[in-house]
Structure 1
């Protein structure tokens, strides 16, 4: 009998992943979905069509009716609180799959708590922007018992993702360690772009041909972030794609890991994090990762917002 799947957390990434589970996952039962703000779950259910999803009202309802429970939440606190609620029930034989970006220590602690209740756990953070989640082209990183990972694999490559990276039979924290370190590449990329574009402007070079060079030399994420910066998307967007608080959370995890690994130096990340502090001061919660551009501009005597 096919397992009953459920999904907790319907942010930008979660909505896209649920869409692909429904459309490509060959589910023979409606996907159970839950979000703290119920309207988001209701809206997604309507979008995915009648009979393809079932909206749950509580975490308890999700757990009681599911075999495999995916979670994709904003931070460690939210993940811990959700799992603590879930573990109040009989979860023996169930599989929890956490797609959140959390500290490796959080993943390992979750595995222990869940295991003591007779359930299984796989950490499965994903790499990719919300548009990639919608397109089913994420990179899935899986860690945990190989027998548990095997239960998740039917829903990764070809469904929610385009490739898997496995840490089979290794502690779940290996997956989130890769995710946190990988996210420093993204944060540092944005910092580098922001500095380069700002220098091009204040030096008199201009940004047009620099952007053309970026498109030719570094197509993909570099070009996409550069385009968003130059278009002013970094301050005009009402709902961020990579919210400033989440970016700072990821940077904080990386800096903590570096400290515990022998005080490893991460100067570029520290610079980016200081700019994220300025982003939060200027834009509040709607600040986005590429808003670093505004902070760098402001630091160099330009207006935070370009094009005005």
Structure 2
């Protein structure tokens, strides 16, 4: 990579902050200019600048001076708000690397807008929770870019920087990576629902949820099931919110739409969504593992097992 390449990062939430930090360190090691960091709440960019080699960008106009721009925003609305302003400002041949989890249709829309502006659009959502983002152990899903040469300019800033694995999809259809991301999120929410049901079954039948957790460790060691079973056993879903219900519901809405468009049936997703809705309405925006509480109540147990009903 040329030492004159200027990169920027938009969106410094739990995921974006960690990825931007890793990319900033990589750019520094290559002798490139400091990463331009932009966030709607500028204090987050300023905080990142205290610990990493970044320059705080005060506006999208300043971000638009970069050659490669990464973006990781909360939802479709935030992406629309940002890219409608940013794309007309960009220089020809700028590479826009969109890492937000958005609808496949929206990714296609902005890839087309970018192409009209002479800009290259790469859809690179990631799989993994914030703790994996901090450790640089995400899985990158890459679609678009139009050529292997373009991808070659971006990949060294992603692998092994923000993650150790990339799954490369088609060069033309940017929506492919979003569809795969939604398949991945389907597995996450389905595992949560399955484990919640199993933990509740163990407790309600008298075996004890602690023994179900022990069984999962023995039969499925070091798995996602164990991670969520541990949160449910310890009732950490109120205070340690890694994936809030509202964010999960946003992703589930995209999953449901993808299933509808594809003619697929997702009964596990429907069960998860019902439990998530009831927890959100009756208790609050806890971590998605809190769906276990709704299942406990349905089984005649207390929401957090602090006492029996």
Q: TM-score range by the shorter chain?
A: over 0.9
| Contact 2:38/2:56, CA 8 A, preserved across alignment | yes
Q: In 2, distance between residues paired with 1:180 and 1:138?
A: 15
Q: In 1, distance between residues paired with 2:45 and 2:281?
A: 31
**SS of the residue 1:88 aligns to:** helix
Residue 33 (structure 1) aligned to one of 34, 37, 40: 37
| Contact 2:127/2:138, CA 8 A, preserved across alignment | yes
Deviation at 1:271, TM superposition (A): 0.6
1:189 corresponds to 2:187: no
Give matches, 1:116-265, under 5 Å.
116-144=116-144, 145-146=146-147, 147-218=149-220, 219-237=222-240, 240-262=241-263, 264-265=264-265
Cα RMSD, aligned residues only? 1.5
Q: In 2, distance between residues paired with 1:18 and 1:194?
A: 34
What is the TM-score of this pair, normalised by structure 1?
0.93
Give matches, 1:42-81, under 5 Å.
42-48=46-52, 52-63=53-64, 65-81=65-81
Structure 1: gaps spanning 5 or more residues: none
Q: In 1, distance between residues paired with 2:60 and 2:281?
A: 34
Deviation at 1:265, TM superposition (A): 1.0
Q: Which residue of 2 aligns with 1:300?
A: 299
Q: In 2, distance between residues paired with 1:13 and 1:110?
A: 22
Change (3 A) 1:231 1:68: same
Q: In 2, distance between residues paired with 1:90 and 1:44?
A: 24
Q: In 2, distance between residues paired with 1:17 and 1:220?
A: 24
| Contact 1:235/1:305, CA 8 A, preserved across alignment | no
Q: Which residue of 1 aligns with 2:94?
A: 94
**SS of the residue 1:141 aligns to:** strand
What do the CA deviations read for 1:216-235 (whole angstroms, capped 9, x no partner)? Answer: 22223211111112111112
Q: In 1, distance between residues paired with 2:72 and 2:283?
A: 25
| Contact 1:12/1:241, CA 8 A, preserved across alignment | no
What do the CA deviations read for 1:232-287 (whole angstroms, capped 9, x no partner)? Answer: 111223xx32121221111111111111112x210000110111111221343x42
| Contact 2:210/2:233, CA 8 A, preserved across alignment | no
What do the CA deviations read for 1:175-207 (whole angstroms, capped 9, x no partner)? Answer: 000001110000000000111111111110001
Deviation at 1:149, TM superposition (A): 1.8
| Contact 1:232/1:307, CA 8 A, preserved across alignment | no
Structure 2: gaps spanning 5 or more residues: none
**SS of the residue 1:87 aligns to:** helix
Q: Quick check: 27-36 or 196-205, which moved more?
A: 27-36
Q: In 2, distance between residues paired with 1:89 and 1:31?
A: 18
The size of the alignment, in residue pairs, is 300
**SS of the residue 2:140 aligns to:** strand
Q: Which residue of 1 aligns with 2:14?
A: 12
What is the TM-score of this pair, normalised by structure 2?
0.92
What do the CA deviations read for 1:113-171 (whole angstroms, capped 9, x no partner)? Answer: 11111111000000111111111110001001223322211112211111010014230
Q: In 1, distance between residues paired with 2:219 and 2:17?
A: 32
Q: In 1, distance between residues paired with 2:218 and 2:70?
A: 38
